[in-house]
Structure 1
Amino acid sequence: MYYIFVLPLCIISLWLYLKWLSMKNYWKKLGVPHEPIHPLFGSMSFLQKKNPGTWMMELYQKYKSSPYVGIWIFWRRGLVINDPDLSRKILVKDADIFRNRLLASGKSDPMGALNLFTVDDPLWTSLRRRLTSVFTGSKLRGWQELYQSKVEDLIYRINSDNEKGIINELRPLFADYATDIIGESSFGIQCQSTRNSTGPLRLMTKEFEKYSQWRGMAWSSIFFLPEMVDILRFSFWPKNTVSYFRKVFKVMVEERGGFEKDIDGKRDLLDALLKLKIDAKKENQDMDLDILISNAMIFLQGGYDTSSTALTYTVYELAYHPKYQKILYDELVEAEKALNGKPFDAESLAKLPYLDAVIKESLRKYPIMGWLDRKALRDYQVDENLTIPANTVVYVNAMGLHYDPKYFPNPEEFRPDRFLPENANNIVPYSYLPFGEGPRMCIGKRIGMNTVRYALAAVVLNFEILPLDKFPLPNDIPIEKKGLFYHPAVPLSVEFKRRK
């Protein structure tokens, strides 16, 4: 009886040991620099202890003399790319080989599994092609009044809170504003979060911001071990928000006339999603409603989260760099005078070189996602020394490149002049990747940049931004460990001193 239990245990232990030896020696045999590996976690034992962006930066600094580093994503082969030229090959030149990602949710979580961020081909290509029309230049110009209205609400909110002696936390403040922008531009929902931090969509985005130990484990599985999602019934979003958004989405669809009304799909994201369903029906195809809801949710999260985080870091850096803040303020004053009383629009803001440089430098120091994951569809020759087998996961190390002094001297310093037009030739192509590159680059880049430009211009024109005691210096901001995006782990606040 004793041997019935001991023998299988010995066999399993031996198999695990031999598997670990194989993994341990794999990259060594290929002559690839590599990290020591844990028998169970591979190279991923850092998860929930430090942010993946922080880990990527440390990995880059440790192996920056090599164009790539071998890792194990649990028991799966992975290669981290530390070279701009190889990044270009993978993201652009050979993008057809790297169309899919490791990142995925499971069958138990259709809301997390069926959106542009997580889905693979062929559904990804179909969705991307159909939804790209939402973010054309002409569409963004049509949202001029919305942006003006929301930045007015933002200035009103800051003034009102100042009068009440309220010190705003930056990320929730800008999350209120960005949620309104996404809610009204993408879904046509009237939102007042910027003024009072309430509303149906803001209730959801507040839930998105909460990272318990369990949700941290869920995201770690979705990003790095998707096989566990169905086993442990993990979900990309908190389940209560999914149920809530289903109800909200149903109301929004009914207000547009349902799926029977023929539309051109060009008005906003909701119209584009409705047209997906209508076109599929005309072609006798079934378009699962979950696909529409999932993509609506990912645009809500992606749009509000990235913009609010970028604004938080940018405003916080300006508080500690009055010289750069003054240059930006002077540029905005001159531009405002040149408009002869007309309000800023997307085109006039995009032409301001220092505004653009400040935002780009903030995104360099604080890329919201510090790595870009792809999966090789077939065997792939990385260079003359290395060929990786199909299904190897490849991570482009954006965070590491952003902090390499070879590309960005004194990378710890906040220096917007790096991105001024006269210095543009100094930026090595593919060393700067805040939005990714290639076919899978961020589809919402233009709306995100507009959202940040409008808010930052309004805030700097109306307030002098000053640091407050008892808050960390920019380079000492602790980064979220449970979540995987590069968010601050502590509240950040500044003083908004009204300009005369």
Structure 2
Amino acid sequence: MLWIFLATIALALFYYFIVKPLKYWTKLGVKQGNPTPLFGDSWGTFWKTQSMADFAQQVYYQVPNVRYSGFYQFSKPILVLKDPELIKQITVKDFDHFVDHMTVIPEEADPLWGKNLFSLTGQRWRDMRATLSPSFTSSKMKFMFSLMADAAHDFVQHFKKKNEKIVTVEMKDTFTRYTNDVIATTAFGVKVDSLENRDNEFYLMGKEATNFSGFFKNLKFLLLMIVPCLYKIFSISMFNKEVSMFFRGLITDTIRTREEKHIVRNDMINLLMEARKGSIHKQNDETTLVDTGFATVKESEVGKAKVQRHLTDEDITAQALIFFFAGFDSVASLMCFMAYELGVSQEIQDRLREEIEVTMRENKGKLTYESLLKMKYMDMVVAETLRKWPGAIAVDRICTKPYTIEPQTPEEQHLSLEKNTVISLPIFAIHRDPKFYPEPEKFDPERFSDENKDKILPCTYLPFGAGPRNCIGSRFAILEIKVLFYHILSNFKIFPVEKTVIPLKLSKTTFNLMSDGGFWFGLERLEK
């Protein structure tokens, strides 16, 4: 009879640890889907039968006609917000209850990840946000513009030197080389040309830092989602030892050289060095210059606060590395999707090129920061790219102190959220919701024309998140994209080739948005 006793114990443990957690939302009166034991709602992404974008939309639509619903990332309960007013309430008005992101890797396991702006929590995040925000103002973008323009010029010259009428390129690889060069010069003060010197160390390290493919890396992320405590127990890090040592050495050497030789360069490292000395100040320049575009997020009062914080070399390295981590791959992906939409919609590409040519004539062939940002159709195209293909499929918030969502419909009841409850903002799904964007699969820059952009409801356009914890680098990313496409389209026509996948199919094997089969397009030199 022992086996009956053991079986009973096993079944009881299975129910308590595997089945019962999947009833969390139901007990709170929140509607949910039909999660499966062990996997929750993540079955398709675990077995690579659906893309992360498809998963996000499945979660969004599995309980229709509600302001919020519950789902499970394996056994972790997450509340997904669908109502724009509720999103605004939680991310803006009641931000003090939802300050933090979900902790990915403990600081003790990987200090370079745990100390960066994205991972910091509470007051430490507030202090670092206020410290970093001065490097992303309009005036700083104007300075960085010339560095970006140089990188874009080198990008175009690389293909022009081939002296071929048509060049076929895989856009993801090509664009990551441009974003690598831009970040190298604007953040690290390093000049590289990754198209000419394809195996430069800076590019190889950046590619390794942002590469999450392969069995063991996928296993690492799976363990993170199922048993996050293992990261702390075994000191599993986000970045491998070689990447960490490279960036630590680069930052330490740069700081030492600048201090010894009194070098001042208006970039992120210099700003953080000034912050360490307590001499940082922020220019109030937000209203004096043209802003980067419709998608640009505004800095909250958190980013405008004055702080006195001692920064170690490791703190500085962590911020520079997350800047690289965020800008290397995600911005390149946005450029790939924009190239795809322009390549399959020649009329949109032609109209944008016409605006570029007008701008060139008005400025006698010289592109300026102000003239680029006054290009309305360019901004419309970028804004629509970010609508249809946002850099983040979803973002999370953690309930940092108990909070109650008051009922607004007869079906709702008071929902009391415990501390550490995870909230999800389903950006991709909201951007594809026909309630907010008619014909959401259509690429239509006219959504963001002067006549139409005011019709977009607040908190239904979230390419860089919402509230004070939005993406600090929105200006940088938008400017970087506009500069490059100005140079590309003034010299080349983007068009599909035999290897181009139309319609685009999203990869089921990557965490972010990526085309299955790559982004292959031709660049046809324009006759001048």
TM-score by length of 1: 0.90
Where in structure 2 are the equivalents of 1:67-106 lying within 5 Å?
A: 67-106=67-106
Pick one of 385, 399, 419 that aligns with 2:448.
Answer: 419
Aligned residue in 1 for 2:509: 481
- Asked whether the 8 Å contact 1:364–1:434 carries over to 2, the reply is yes
Distance 2:347 2:62 in 1: 34
What code does the residue aligned with 1:486 have?
Answer: L
Distance 1:167 1:351 in 2: 31
Pick one of 1, 12, 15 that aligns with 1:14.
Answer: 12
Unmatched segments (≥5 aa) in structure 2:
280-306, 408-412
Within the alignment, does 1:41 sit opposite 2:64 as a pair?
no
- Asked whether the 8 Å contact 2:116–2:322 carries over to 1, the reply is yes
Where in structure 2 are the equivalents of 1:274-423 lying within 5 Å?
A: 274-279=273-278, 287-341=311-365, 343-384=366-407, 385=413, 386-423=415-452
- Asked whether the 8 Å contact 1:371–1:398 carries over to 2, the reply is yes
Cα shift at 1:292: 2.0
10-19 vs 359-368, which moves further: 10-19
Q: Which runs of 4+ in 1 moved over 6 A?
A: 5-9, 283-286
* Matched residue SS, 2:404: strand
Distance 1:267 1:39 in 2: 53
- Asked whether the 8 Å contact 1:133–1:266 carries over to 2, the reply is no
Aligned residue in 2 for 1:59: 59
* Matched residue SS, 1:494: strand
Q: Deviations over 1:21-54 (max 9, x none)?
A: 5334332243322122233333333444244333
Distance 1:110 1:12 in 2: 39
TM-score by length of 2: 0.86
Name the CA shift for 1:221/1:434 in 2 (closer, same or farther; >3 Å): farther
Distance 1:365 1:174 in 2: 19
* Matched residue SS, 1:168: strand
Distance 1:466 1:132 in 2: 38
What code does the residue aligned with 1:499 have?
Answer: L
Name the CA shift for 1:101/1:8 in 2 (closer, same or farther; >3 Å): farther
Aligned residue in 1 for 2:155: 154
RMSD (CA atoms): 2.7
Name the CA shift for 1:464/1:164 in 2 (closer, same or farther; >3 Å): closer
Cα shift at 1:237: 2.4
Name the CA shift for 1:287/1:454 in 2 (closer, same or farther; >3 Å): closer
Within the alignment, does 1:235 sit opposite 2:237 as a pair?
yes
* Matched residue SS, 2:396: strand
* Matched residue SS, 2:523: strand
- Asked whether the 8 Å contact 1:103–1:223 carries over to 2, the reply is no
Structure that is richer in helix per residue: 1
191-200 vs 54-63, which moves further: 191-200
Aligned residue in 1 for 2:133: 132
- Asked whether the 8 Å contact 1:134–1:266 carries over to 2, the reply is no
Distance 2:171 2:59 in 1: 30
Aligned residue in 2 for 1:257: 259
Distance 1:53 1:21 in 2: 26
Within the alignment, does 1:28 sit opposite 2:26 as a pair?
yes
Aligned residue in 2 for 1:499: 526
Name the CA shift for 1:200/1:124 in 2 (closer, same or farther; >3 Å): same
* Matched residue SS, 2:520: coil
Distance 2:317 2:155 in 1: 29
What code does the residue aligned with 2:150 have?
Answer: S
What code does the residue aligned with 1:402 have?
Answer: H
* Matched residue SS, 1:476: coil
* Matched residue SS, 1:167: strand
Name the CA shift for 1:292/1:52 in 2 (closer, same or farther; >3 Å): same
Q: What is the total number of aligned residue pairs between the two structures?
A: 490
Cα shift at 1:253: 1.7
- Asked whether the 8 Å contact 1:192–1:198 carries over to 2, the reply is no
* Matched residue SS, 1:257: helix
Q: Deviations over 1:275-310 (max 9, x none)?
A: 344449xx9986443322221111111122222111
Name the CA shift for 1:137/1:403 in 2 (closer, same or farther; >3 Å): same
- Asked whether the 8 Å contact 2:115–2:315 carries over to 1, the reply is yes
Aligned residue in 2 for 1:269: 268
Distance 2:225 2:423 in 1: 13
- Asked whether the 8 Å contact 1:466–1:496 carries over to 2, the reply is yes
Distance 1:223 1:132 in 2: 31
Distance 2:226 2:115 in 1: 17
Name the CA shift for 1:286/1:332 in 2 (closer, same or farther; >3 Å): closer
Distance 1:222 1:95 in 2: 26
What code does the residue aligned with 1:380 have?
Answer: Y
What code does the residue aligned with 1:218 have?
Answer: K
Distance 1:270 1:174 in 2: 24
Q: Deviations over 1:166-205 (max 9, x none)?
A: 5221011111111111111111111222443343321112
Cα shift at 1:80: 0.7
Distance 1:56 1:276 in 2: 39
Distance 2:328 2:4 in 1: 54
Distance 2:207 2:165 in 1: 23
86-95 vs 219-228, which moves further: 219-228
- Asked whether the 8 Å contact 2:493–2:523 carries over to 1, the reply is yes
* Matched residue SS, 1:253: helix
What code does the residue aligned with 1:37 have?
Answer: P
* Matched residue SS, 2:157: helix
Distance 1:491 1:299 in 2: 25
226-235 vs 310-319, which moves further: 226-235
- Asked whether the 8 Å contact 1:371–1:397 carries over to 2, the reply is yes
* Matched residue SS, 2:465: coil
Aligned residue in 2 for 1:433: 462
* Matched residue SS, 1:414: coil
Cα shift at 1:222: 4.7
Q: Deviations over 1:332-377 (max 9, x none)?
A: 1112212234x22232212211101111111111111111100111
Cα shift at 1:498: 0.8
Name the CA shift for 1:285/1:294 in 2 (closer, same or farther; >3 Å): closer
Distance 1:252 1:128 in 2: 23
- Asked whether the 8 Å contact 2:116–2:319 carries over to 1, the reply is yes
